[in-house]
Structure 1
Amino acid sequence: MASERGVAPATDPHFLAECGSTQASAPDGDVAGLHAGLTQLRAFIAQRDAQLGARLPPERELCDTLGVSRAELRKALAILESEGQLWRHVGKGTFFGERPSEEVDDLAGLAQRANPHEVMRARMLFEPMIASEAAINATAADVDEMTLCLSRSREAQTWRQYETWDNRLHRALARATQNTLLIGMFDTLNAVRRAVVWGRLRATGPVPGTEHHSFAEHDRIVAAVQDRDADGASRGMRQHLQSVSAKLRDIGKG
Protein backbone atom coordinates (compact mmCIF):
# COMPACT_ATOMS: atom_id res chain seq x y z
CA MET A 1 0.00 0.00 0.00
CA ALA A 2 1.06 3.58 -0.52
CA SER A 3 3.13 4.96 2.30
CA GLU A 4 2.60 8.20 4.18
CA ARG A 5 5.58 9.59 2.28
CA GLY A 6 3.67 9.11 -0.95
CA VAL A 7 0.63 11.18 0.10
CA ALA A 8 0.03 14.21 -2.06
CA PRO A 9 -0.14 17.59 -0.28
CA ALA A 10 -3.41 19.51 -0.20
CA THR A 11 -2.15 21.85 -2.93
CA ASP A 12 -1.21 19.02 -5.28
CA PRO A 13 -3.58 18.98 -8.31
CA HIS A 14 -3.63 15.16 -8.19
CA PHE A 15 -4.85 15.33 -4.60
CA LEU A 16 -7.47 17.96 -5.39
CA ALA A 17 -8.67 15.93 -8.35
CA GLU A 18 -9.04 12.87 -6.11
CA CYS A 19 -11.06 14.95 -3.66
CA GLY A 20 -13.33 16.15 -6.44
CA SER A 21 -12.68 19.77 -5.47
CA THR A 22 -10.38 22.73 -5.97
CA GLN A 23 -9.03 25.25 -3.56
CA ALA A 24 -11.34 27.81 -5.09
CA SER A 25 -14.47 25.75 -4.41
CA ALA A 26 -13.67 24.17 -1.04
CA PRO A 27 -13.06 25.94 2.27
CA ASP A 28 -9.49 25.68 3.52
CA GLY A 29 -10.65 23.83 6.63
CA ASP A 30 -12.47 21.20 4.59
CA VAL A 31 -9.43 20.55 2.38
CA ALA A 32 -7.12 20.42 5.40
CA GLY A 33 -9.47 18.05 7.21
CA LEU A 34 -9.75 15.74 4.23
CA HIS A 35 -5.98 15.80 3.72
CA ALA A 36 -5.48 14.86 7.37
CA GLY A 37 -7.98 12.02 7.14
CA LEU A 38 -6.45 10.69 3.93
CA THR A 39 -2.92 10.93 5.33
CA GLN A 40 -3.87 9.11 8.52
CA LEU A 41 -5.75 6.38 6.65
CA ARG A 42 -2.89 5.76 4.20
CA ALA A 43 -0.43 5.54 7.08
CA PHE A 44 -2.71 3.14 8.98
CA ILE A 45 -3.01 0.84 5.96
CA ALA A 46 0.76 0.93 5.29
CA GLN A 47 1.52 0.05 8.91
CA ARG A 48 -0.98 -2.82 8.95
CA ASP A 49 0.48 -4.35 5.76
CA ALA A 50 -2.77 -6.31 5.53
CA GLN A 51 -3.51 -9.15 3.15
CA LEU A 52 -5.86 -8.56 0.22
CA GLY A 53 -9.43 -9.28 1.24
CA ALA A 54 -8.84 -8.55 4.94
CA ARG A 55 -11.49 -6.40 6.59
CA LEU A 56 -10.78 -2.97 8.07
CA PRO A 57 -11.97 -2.13 11.59
CA PRO A 58 -15.46 -0.56 11.89
CA GLU A 59 -15.74 3.15 11.07
CA ARG A 60 -16.24 4.19 14.69
CA GLU A 61 -13.07 2.36 15.73
CA LEU A 62 -11.14 3.81 12.79
CA CYS A 63 -12.25 7.34 13.69
CA ASP A 64 -10.99 6.87 17.25
CA THR A 65 -7.73 5.30 16.09
CA LEU A 66 -6.98 7.92 13.43
CA GLY A 67 -8.35 10.93 15.31
CA VAL A 68 -10.59 12.05 12.45
CA SER A 69 -14.30 12.75 12.08
CA ARG A 70 -16.73 10.29 10.49
CA ALA A 71 -17.17 12.64 7.50
CA GLU A 72 -13.40 12.95 6.95
CA LEU A 73 -12.97 9.19 7.22
CA ARG A 74 -15.72 8.45 4.71
CA LYS A 75 -14.28 10.89 2.18
CA ALA A 76 -10.83 9.31 2.60
CA LEU A 77 -12.33 5.82 2.21
CA ALA A 78 -14.07 6.92 -0.98
CA ILE A 79 -10.78 8.16 -2.46
CA LEU A 80 -8.94 4.92 -1.68
CA GLU A 81 -11.87 2.92 -3.04
CA SER A 82 -11.67 4.90 -6.30
CA GLU A 83 -7.96 3.98 -6.46
CA GLY A 84 -8.78 0.29 -6.15
CA GLN A 85 -7.09 -0.04 -2.75
CA LEU A 86 -10.31 -0.70 -0.84
CA TRP A 87 -13.84 -1.86 -1.51
CA ARG A 88 -16.97 -1.59 0.57
CA HIS A 89 -19.89 -3.98 0.97
CA VAL A 90 -23.01 -2.58 2.62
CA GLY A 91 -23.68 -4.46 5.84
CA LYS A 92 -20.37 -6.34 5.76
CA GLY A 93 -17.67 -3.70 6.00
CA THR A 94 -14.65 -2.33 4.13
CA PHE A 95 -11.99 -4.64 2.71
CA PHE A 96 -8.41 -4.29 1.44
CA GLY A 97 -7.86 -4.64 -2.31
CA GLU A 98 -10.12 -4.35 -5.34
CA ARG A 99 -13.79 -5.29 -5.36
CA PRO A 100 -14.20 -8.88 -6.59
CA SER A 101 -15.74 -9.15 -10.04
CA GLU A 102 -19.51 -9.54 -9.74
CA GLU A 103 -19.63 -11.05 -13.20
CA VAL A 104 -17.67 -14.19 -12.35
CA ASP A 105 -19.41 -16.31 -9.72
CA ASP A 106 -16.64 -18.89 -9.55
CA LEU A 107 -13.67 -16.55 -9.42
CA ALA A 108 -12.18 -18.30 -6.40
CA GLY A 109 -12.56 -21.67 -8.09
CA LEU A 110 -11.00 -20.30 -11.26
CA ALA A 111 -8.01 -19.04 -9.29
CA GLN A 112 -7.62 -22.47 -7.68
CA ARG A 113 -7.64 -24.24 -11.04
CA ALA A 114 -5.32 -21.84 -12.88
CA ASN A 115 -1.54 -21.92 -12.61
CA PRO A 116 1.05 -19.13 -13.00
CA HIS A 117 1.94 -20.22 -16.55
CA GLU A 118 -1.69 -19.97 -17.66
CA VAL A 119 -2.04 -16.55 -16.06
CA MET A 120 1.07 -15.22 -17.79
CA ARG A 121 -0.03 -16.64 -21.13
CA ALA A 122 -3.42 -14.96 -20.78
CA ARG A 123 -1.73 -11.68 -19.91
CA MET A 124 0.60 -11.97 -22.91
CA LEU A 125 -2.41 -12.35 -25.20
CA PHE A 126 -4.59 -9.69 -23.59
CA GLU A 127 -2.57 -6.84 -22.10
CA PRO A 128 -0.61 -5.79 -25.23
CA MET A 129 -3.98 -5.21 -26.87
CA ILE A 130 -5.06 -3.17 -23.84
CA ALA A 131 -1.94 -1.01 -24.17
CA SER A 132 -2.60 -0.52 -27.87
CA GLU A 133 -6.20 0.56 -27.24
CA ALA A 134 -5.01 2.86 -24.46
CA ALA A 135 -2.66 4.62 -26.90
CA ILE A 136 -5.60 5.24 -29.22
CA ASN A 137 -8.15 6.35 -26.62
CA ALA A 138 -6.30 7.74 -23.57
CA THR A 139 -7.26 11.19 -22.32
CA ALA A 140 -4.88 13.71 -20.77
CA ALA A 141 -6.25 12.72 -17.35
CA ASP A 142 -5.46 9.06 -18.10
CA VAL A 143 -1.86 9.95 -18.95
CA ASP A 144 -1.59 12.06 -15.79
CA GLU A 145 -2.73 9.06 -13.74
CA MET A 146 -0.15 6.81 -15.41
CA THR A 147 2.59 9.38 -14.80
CA LEU A 148 1.61 9.57 -11.14
CA CYS A 149 1.85 5.77 -10.89
CA LEU A 150 5.32 5.81 -12.44
CA SER A 151 6.49 8.37 -9.90
CA ARG A 152 4.95 6.72 -6.86
CA SER A 153 6.21 3.25 -7.78
CA ARG A 154 9.76 4.63 -7.70
CA GLU A 155 9.08 6.08 -4.24
CA ALA A 156 7.83 2.75 -2.84
CA GLN A 157 9.52 1.67 0.37
CA THR A 158 8.39 -1.97 0.27
CA TRP A 159 7.49 -4.55 -2.34
CA ARG A 160 3.86 -4.38 -1.27
CA GLN A 161 3.79 -0.63 -1.90
CA TYR A 162 5.46 -1.15 -5.27
CA GLU A 163 2.89 -3.79 -6.23
CA THR A 164 0.07 -1.41 -5.30
CA TRP A 165 1.30 1.25 -7.72
CA ASP A 166 2.22 -1.33 -10.35
CA ASN A 167 -1.31 -2.71 -10.19
CA ARG A 168 -2.78 0.79 -10.34
CA LEU A 169 -0.71 1.57 -13.46
CA HIS A 170 -1.89 -1.53 -15.29
CA ARG A 171 -5.49 -0.74 -14.38
CA ALA A 172 -5.02 2.86 -15.54
CA LEU A 173 -4.04 1.46 -18.93
CA ALA A 174 -7.20 -0.64 -18.98
CA ARG A 175 -9.35 2.35 -18.02
CA ALA A 176 -7.71 4.39 -20.77
CA THR A 177 -9.26 2.08 -23.37
CA GLN A 178 -12.59 3.77 -22.53
CA ASN A 179 -14.17 0.32 -23.04
CA THR A 180 -16.28 -0.96 -20.16
CA LEU A 181 -16.11 -4.58 -21.32
CA LEU A 182 -12.32 -4.54 -21.65
CA ILE A 183 -12.01 -2.98 -18.20
CA GLY A 184 -14.21 -5.72 -16.74
CA MET A 185 -12.18 -8.42 -18.48
CA PHE A 186 -8.97 -6.87 -17.17
CA ASP A 187 -10.34 -6.78 -13.62
CA THR A 188 -11.25 -10.47 -13.82
CA LEU A 189 -7.83 -11.48 -15.15
CA ASN A 190 -6.10 -9.24 -12.63
CA ALA A 191 -8.02 -10.73 -9.70
CA VAL A 192 -6.99 -14.23 -10.78
CA ARG A 193 -3.39 -13.08 -11.33
CA ARG A 194 -3.11 -11.68 -7.83
CA ALA A 195 -4.58 -14.82 -6.30
CA VAL A 196 -2.55 -17.29 -8.36
CA VAL A 197 0.81 -15.69 -9.08
CA TRP A 198 1.50 -13.52 -6.06
CA GLY A 199 -0.10 -16.06 -3.76
CA ARG A 200 2.52 -18.65 -4.78
CA LEU A 201 5.50 -16.71 -6.13
CA ARG A 202 6.01 -13.55 -4.14
CA ALA A 203 9.13 -11.41 -4.44
CA THR A 204 10.77 -10.49 -1.16
CA GLY A 205 12.96 -7.64 -0.04
CA PRO A 206 12.50 -4.20 1.47
CA VAL A 207 12.14 -2.26 -1.77
CA PRO A 208 12.63 -2.71 -5.54
CA GLY A 209 16.11 -1.58 -6.56
CA THR A 210 16.63 1.31 -8.94
CA GLU A 211 17.71 -1.23 -11.57
CA HIS A 212 14.40 -3.11 -11.38
CA HIS A 213 13.38 -3.90 -14.95
CA SER A 214 9.80 -2.67 -14.62
CA PHE A 215 10.70 0.99 -14.17
CA ALA A 216 12.18 1.52 -17.63
CA GLU A 217 9.63 -0.81 -19.22
CA HIS A 218 6.72 1.07 -17.70
CA ASP A 219 8.27 4.36 -18.83
CA ARG A 220 8.38 3.13 -22.43
CA ILE A 221 4.77 1.94 -22.36
CA VAL A 222 3.44 5.21 -20.97
CA ALA A 223 5.57 7.25 -23.39
CA ALA A 224 4.09 5.27 -26.29
CA VAL A 225 0.56 5.85 -24.99
CA GLN A 226 1.25 9.57 -24.68
CA ASP A 227 2.62 9.63 -28.25
CA ARG A 228 -0.47 7.77 -29.56
CA ASP A 229 1.89 5.00 -30.71
CA ALA A 230 -0.39 1.96 -30.55
CA ASP A 231 2.19 -0.45 -31.96
CA GLY A 232 4.88 0.85 -29.62
CA ALA A 233 2.60 0.53 -26.59
CA SER A 234 1.66 -3.02 -27.53
CA ARG A 235 5.28 -3.96 -28.16
CA GLY A 236 6.39 -2.35 -24.90
CA MET A 237 3.77 -4.24 -22.90
CA ARG A 238 4.72 -7.54 -24.53
CA GLN A 239 8.40 -6.99 -23.68
CA HIS A 240 7.46 -6.02 -20.13
CA LEU A 241 5.41 -9.16 -19.61
CA GLN A 242 8.23 -11.29 -21.03
CA SER A 243 10.52 -9.79 -18.37
CA VAL A 244 7.93 -10.46 -15.66
CA SER A 245 7.52 -14.04 -16.85
CA ALA A 246 11.28 -14.63 -16.77
CA LYS A 247 11.49 -13.18 -13.26
CA LEU A 248 8.68 -15.40 -12.02
CA ARG A 249 10.42 -18.47 -13.45
CA ASP A 250 13.58 -17.51 -11.57
CA ILE A 251 11.63 -17.09 -8.32
CA GLY A 252 9.94 -20.44 -8.87
CA LYS A 253 13.33 -22.12 -9.17
CA GLY A 254 14.57 -20.54 -5.95
Structure 2
Amino acid sequence: MLTRTDQPERDECAERLRALIAEGGYAPGDRIPPERQLIEMMGITRAGLRRALDFLERDGVIWRHVGKGTFVSYGATDAVTEDAFAGIGNQLSPYRMMRARICVEPAIAREAAVYASREQVARIDAAAKRARAAASWSEYERQDDQFHRAVAEAADNALLLALFDSLNRVRREVAWGAVTRSNARPPRDHSSFAEHDAICAALAAHDADAAFQAMRAHLQSVSSRLFEGI
Protein backbone atom coordinates (compact mmCIF):
# COMPACT_ATOMS: atom_id res chain seq x y z
CA MET A 1 0.00 0.00 0.00
CA LEU A 2 1.34 3.46 -0.89
CA THR A 3 1.89 5.70 2.11
CA ARG A 4 4.29 8.54 1.26
CA THR A 5 6.15 10.17 -1.62
CA ASP A 6 9.86 9.50 -2.23
CA GLN A 7 12.21 11.30 -4.60
CA PRO A 8 14.14 9.25 -7.20
CA GLU A 9 17.46 7.92 -5.98
CA ARG A 10 20.52 9.94 -7.01
CA ASP A 11 24.16 8.94 -6.93
CA GLU A 12 27.04 11.40 -7.31
CA CYS A 13 29.40 8.90 -8.99
CA ALA A 14 26.64 7.90 -11.42
CA GLU A 15 25.99 11.52 -12.37
CA ARG A 16 29.71 12.08 -12.96
CA LEU A 17 29.88 8.99 -15.16
CA ARG A 18 26.76 10.11 -17.02
CA ALA A 19 28.44 13.47 -17.68
CA LEU A 20 31.66 11.78 -18.83
CA ILE A 21 29.71 9.74 -21.38
CA ALA A 22 27.80 12.79 -22.63
CA GLU A 23 30.82 15.11 -22.79
CA GLY A 24 33.13 12.44 -24.20
CA GLY A 25 31.13 12.18 -27.40
CA TYR A 26 30.20 8.52 -26.92
CA ALA A 27 27.38 7.55 -29.27
CA PRO A 28 24.86 4.72 -28.80
CA GLY A 29 26.64 1.43 -29.40
CA ASP A 30 30.09 2.81 -28.49
CA ARG A 31 32.15 0.99 -25.90
CA ILE A 32 33.26 3.13 -22.97
CA PRO A 33 36.71 2.74 -21.35
CA PRO A 34 37.38 -0.26 -19.09
CA GLU A 35 36.91 0.00 -15.33
CA ARG A 36 40.58 0.61 -14.48
CA GLN A 37 40.76 3.53 -16.90
CA LEU A 38 37.46 5.00 -15.68
CA ILE A 39 38.69 4.86 -12.08
CA GLU A 40 41.78 6.85 -13.06
CA MET A 41 39.82 9.31 -15.22
CA MET A 42 37.20 9.99 -12.55
CA GLY A 43 39.35 9.69 -9.43
CA ILE A 44 36.89 7.40 -7.65
CA THR A 45 37.07 4.02 -5.95
CA ARG A 46 36.27 0.73 -7.64
CA ALA A 47 33.23 0.37 -5.39
CA GLY A 48 32.02 3.84 -6.38
CA LEU A 49 32.47 3.06 -10.07
CA ARG A 50 30.64 -0.24 -9.86
CA ARG A 51 27.77 1.43 -8.02
CA ALA A 52 27.67 4.06 -10.77
CA LEU A 53 27.70 1.40 -13.49
CA ASP A 54 24.85 -0.45 -11.78
CA PHE A 55 22.86 2.77 -11.50
CA LEU A 56 23.35 3.78 -15.14
CA GLU A 57 22.55 0.27 -16.34
CA ARG A 58 19.29 0.38 -14.40
CA ASP A 59 18.63 3.81 -15.92
CA GLY A 60 19.17 2.47 -19.44
CA VAL A 61 22.22 4.63 -20.15
CA ILE A 62 24.62 1.70 -20.60
CA TRP A 63 24.55 -2.05 -21.06
CA ARG A 64 27.21 -4.60 -20.21
CA HIS A 65 28.28 -7.69 -22.13
CA VAL A 66 30.43 -10.17 -20.21
CA GLY A 67 33.79 -10.52 -21.92
CA LYS A 68 33.23 -7.63 -24.33
CA GLY A 69 32.81 -4.51 -22.18
CA THR A 70 30.34 -1.75 -21.37
CA PHE A 71 28.45 0.05 -24.12
CA VAL A 72 26.30 3.16 -24.45
CA SER A 73 22.65 2.18 -24.80
CA TYR A 74 20.43 3.27 -27.64
CA GLY A 75 18.17 4.66 -24.94
CA ALA A 76 20.87 7.00 -23.56
CA THR A 77 19.66 10.58 -23.27
CA ASP A 78 20.91 14.15 -23.33
CA ALA A 79 19.86 16.89 -20.91
CA VAL A 80 16.95 18.04 -23.09
CA THR A 81 15.52 14.53 -23.28
CA GLU A 82 16.06 14.06 -19.54
CA ASP A 83 13.89 17.13 -18.96
CA ALA A 84 11.25 15.69 -21.27
CA PHE A 85 11.22 12.42 -19.32
CA ALA A 86 10.93 14.35 -16.07
CA GLY A 87 7.99 16.30 -17.50
CA ILE A 88 6.18 13.12 -18.50
CA GLY A 89 6.93 11.50 -15.15
CA ASN A 90 5.54 14.49 -13.29
CA GLN A 91 2.25 14.10 -15.17
CA LEU A 92 1.87 10.38 -14.47
CA SER A 93 0.38 8.78 -11.40
CA PRO A 94 1.97 5.52 -10.20
CA TYR A 95 -1.20 3.71 -11.29
CA ARG A 96 -0.92 4.99 -14.86
CA MET A 97 2.77 4.15 -14.90
CA MET A 98 1.97 0.54 -14.03
CA ARG A 99 -0.70 0.47 -16.73
CA ALA A 100 1.95 1.49 -19.25
CA ARG A 101 4.29 -1.26 -18.08
CA ILE A 102 1.51 -3.84 -18.37
CA CYS A 103 0.90 -2.73 -21.96
CA VAL A 104 4.55 -2.82 -23.05
CA GLU A 105 6.62 -5.35 -21.10
CA PRO A 106 4.59 -8.51 -21.82
CA ALA A 107 5.00 -7.85 -25.55
CA ILE A 108 8.75 -7.46 -25.06
CA ALA A 109 8.84 -10.74 -23.11
CA ARG A 110 7.05 -12.46 -25.99
CA GLU A 111 9.77 -11.28 -28.39
CA ALA A 112 12.46 -12.36 -25.93
CA ALA A 113 11.04 -15.88 -25.89
CA VAL A 114 11.52 -16.07 -29.65
CA TYR A 115 14.97 -14.51 -29.93
CA ALA A 116 16.78 -15.04 -26.61
CA SER A 117 20.08 -16.88 -26.77
CA ARG A 118 21.06 -19.50 -24.21
CA GLU A 119 23.48 -16.98 -22.68
CA GLN A 120 20.75 -14.34 -22.37
CA VAL A 121 18.34 -16.78 -20.73
CA ALA A 122 21.11 -17.67 -18.26
CA ARG A 123 21.63 -13.97 -17.46
CA ILE A 124 17.91 -13.51 -16.82
CA ASP A 125 17.81 -16.57 -14.58
CA ALA A 126 20.89 -15.36 -12.68
CA ALA A 127 19.22 -11.99 -12.04
CA ALA A 128 16.13 -13.79 -10.73
CA LYS A 129 18.30 -15.83 -8.37
CA ARG A 130 20.10 -12.70 -7.12
CA ALA A 131 16.74 -11.06 -6.46
CA ARG A 132 15.63 -14.10 -4.45
CA ALA A 133 18.85 -13.98 -2.40
CA ALA A 134 18.73 -10.22 -1.76
CA ALA A 135 19.42 -9.26 1.86
CA SER A 136 17.42 -6.02 1.68
CA TRP A 137 14.53 -4.49 -0.23
CA SER A 138 16.84 -2.00 -1.95
CA GLU A 139 19.07 -4.83 -3.19
CA TYR A 140 16.01 -6.76 -4.33
CA GLU A 141 14.84 -3.74 -6.33
CA ARG A 142 18.26 -3.40 -7.99
CA GLN A 143 18.23 -7.04 -9.02
CA ASP A 144 14.60 -6.83 -10.13
CA ASP A 145 15.54 -3.90 -12.38
CA GLN A 146 18.36 -5.96 -13.87
CA PHE A 147 16.00 -8.90 -14.40
CA HIS A 148 13.52 -6.82 -16.39
CA ARG A 149 16.19 -5.10 -18.46
CA ALA A 150 17.84 -8.43 -19.26
CA VAL A 151 14.48 -9.59 -20.63
CA ALA A 152 14.32 -6.47 -22.81
CA GLU A 153 17.87 -7.06 -24.07
CA ALA A 154 16.95 -10.63 -24.98
CA ALA A 155 14.26 -9.39 -27.38
CA ASP A 156 17.17 -8.59 -29.73
CA ASN A 157 15.60 -5.38 -31.01
CA ALA A 158 17.27 -1.99 -30.51
CA LEU A 159 13.97 -0.13 -30.84
CA LEU A 160 12.21 -2.27 -28.23
CA LEU A 161 15.19 -1.88 -25.89
CA ALA A 162 15.12 1.90 -26.36
CA LEU A 163 11.37 1.85 -25.67
CA PHE A 164 11.94 -0.15 -22.48
CA ASP A 165 14.73 2.19 -21.37
CA SER A 166 12.55 5.24 -22.03
CA LEU A 167 9.69 3.70 -20.07
CA ASN A 168 12.07 2.88 -17.23
CA ARG A 169 13.53 6.39 -17.25
CA VAL A 170 10.08 7.94 -16.96
CA ARG A 171 9.27 5.46 -14.18
CA ARG A 172 12.10 6.92 -12.10
CA GLU A 173 10.57 10.39 -12.35
CA VAL A 174 7.12 9.34 -11.15
CA ALA A 175 6.30 10.33 -7.56
CA TRP A 176 6.11 6.81 -6.15
CA GLY A 177 4.93 6.19 -2.64
CA ALA A 178 6.86 3.96 -0.29
CA VAL A 179 5.42 0.52 0.38
CA THR A 180 4.69 -0.36 3.99
CA ARG A 181 6.91 -3.37 4.78
CA SER A 182 7.11 -5.42 7.93
CA ASN A 183 10.41 -7.12 7.02
CA ALA A 184 13.87 -5.79 6.24
CA ARG A 185 14.09 -8.06 3.21
CA PRO A 186 11.62 -9.83 0.91
CA PRO A 187 10.05 -12.85 2.64
CA ARG A 188 10.83 -16.30 1.30
CA ASP A 189 7.32 -16.60 -0.11
CA HIS A 190 7.42 -13.20 -1.86
CA SER A 191 5.16 -13.74 -4.86
CA SER A 192 7.54 -12.11 -7.34
CA PHE A 193 10.01 -14.97 -6.88
CA ALA A 194 7.65 -17.56 -8.35
CA GLU A 195 6.53 -15.07 -11.00
CA HIS A 196 10.14 -14.48 -12.08
CA ASP A 197 10.64 -18.25 -12.24
CA ALA A 198 7.59 -18.60 -14.50
CA ILE A 199 8.97 -15.95 -16.85
CA CYS A 200 12.36 -17.68 -16.93
CA ALA A 201 10.77 -21.05 -17.66
CA ALA A 202 8.77 -19.63 -20.56
CA LEU A 203 11.84 -17.94 -22.03
CA ALA A 204 13.95 -21.09 -21.68
CA ALA A 205 11.22 -23.06 -23.48
CA HIS A 206 10.96 -20.34 -26.16
CA ASP A 207 7.22 -20.28 -25.50
CA ALA A 208 6.19 -16.81 -26.66
CA ASP A 209 2.58 -16.95 -25.45
CA ALA A 210 3.60 -18.28 -22.03
CA ALA A 211 6.23 -15.54 -21.70
CA PHE A 212 3.64 -12.87 -22.53
CA GLN A 213 1.17 -14.26 -20.00
CA ALA A 214 3.81 -14.78 -17.29
CA MET A 215 5.10 -11.21 -17.57
CA ARG A 216 1.58 -9.80 -17.62
CA ALA A 217 0.60 -11.84 -14.55
CA HIS A 218 3.74 -10.66 -12.75
CA LEU A 219 3.12 -6.97 -13.42
CA GLN A 220 -0.55 -7.26 -12.53
CA SER A 221 0.47 -8.90 -9.25
CA VAL A 222 2.93 -6.08 -8.53
CA SER A 223 0.25 -3.52 -9.33
CA SER A 224 -2.25 -5.23 -7.03
CA ARG A 225 0.23 -5.18 -4.14
CA LEU A 226 1.16 -1.53 -4.72
CA PHE A 227 -2.39 -0.24 -4.87
CA GLU A 228 -4.07 -2.50 -2.34
CA GLY A 229 -6.65 -0.50 -0.47
CA ILE A 230 -6.61 2.45 -2.89
Normalised to the residue count of structure 2, the TM-score between the two structures is 0.69
- Match of residue 202 from structure 1: 179
1:56 matches 2:13: yes
Aligned to 2:87: 109
1:188 equivalenced with 2:160 (yes/no): no
What corresponds to 2:49 in structure 1? 77
Residues 234, 206 of structure 1: alpha-carbon distance in 2 compared, 3 angstrom cutoff: same
- Within 2, Cα distance between the matches of 1:232 and 1:215? 17
**CA contact under 8 A between 1:221 and 1:236: conserved in structure 2?**
yes
* 3-state DSSP of counterpart to 1:196: coil
Change over 3 Å in CA distance of 1:85–1:206 after alignment to 2: same
Q: CA deviation at 1:194?
A: 3.1
Per-residue displacement from partner, 1:86-138 (whole Å, max 9, x unpaired)?
Answer: 899xxxxxxxxxx9644564111111100112111111111110100000111
Deviation of the 1:236 alpha carbon: 0.3
SS in 2 for 1:195: coil
Deviation at 1:162, TM superposition (A): 0.3
Query: What does residue 144 of structure 1 align with?
Result: 122
Paired amino acid for 1:141: E
What count of residue pairs does the alignment treat as equivalent?
184
**Superimposed CA distance per residue, residues 163-195 of structure 1 (whole angstroms, 9 cap, x where no aligned partner):** 000010000000001111111111111122233
What amino acid is aligned across from residue 109 of structure 1 in structure 2? Answer: G
- Measure the CA separation in 2 of the matches of 1:202 and 1:56: 27
CA 1:176–1:154 in structure 2 vs 1: closer, same or farther (change >3 Å)?
A: same
Structure 1 residue 146: deviation in Å? 0.7
- Classify the secondary structure of the residue corresponding to 2:174: helix
Structure with greater Cα Rg: 1
Q: CA deviation at 1:150?
A: 1.2
Cα distance in 2, alignment partners of residues 227 and 117 from structure 1? 32
1:217 aligns with 2:206: no
Q: Is the 8 A contact 2:60 2:168 kept in 1?
A: no
Structure 2 SS opposite 1:206: coil
- Counterpart of 2:154 in structure 1 is 176
d(CA) in 2 for partners of 1:234, 1:185? 17
Structure with higher RCO (Cα < 8 A, 6+ apart): 2
Residue type of the alignment partner of 1:81: L
Choose from 203, 206, 209 the match for 1:228: 206
CA gap 1:130/1:85 in 2 versus in 1, 3 angstroms: closer
* Separation in 1, partners of 2:217, 2:116: 21
- Pick closer, same or farther for the CA change 1:86–1:131 going to 2, 3 Å: closer
1:202 is displaced (CA, Å) by 3.4
- What is the CA-CA distance between 1:160 and the residue it aligns to? 0.5
- Contact conserved, 1:174 with 1:183, CA < 8 A, in 2? yes
Indicate the larger mover: 201-210 or 158-167.
201-210
With normalisation by structure 1, the TM-score equals 0.63
The residue number in structure 2 matching 1:163 is: 141
Q: Distance in 2 between matches of 1:232 and 1:188?
A: 25
1:212 Cα offset (Å): 0.6
Coordinate RMSD, CA, aligned: 3.2
- The CA distance in 2 between the partners of 1:184 and 1:173, in whole Å, is 13
Answer yes or no: is the 8 Å Cα contact 1:139–1:176 preserved in 2: yes
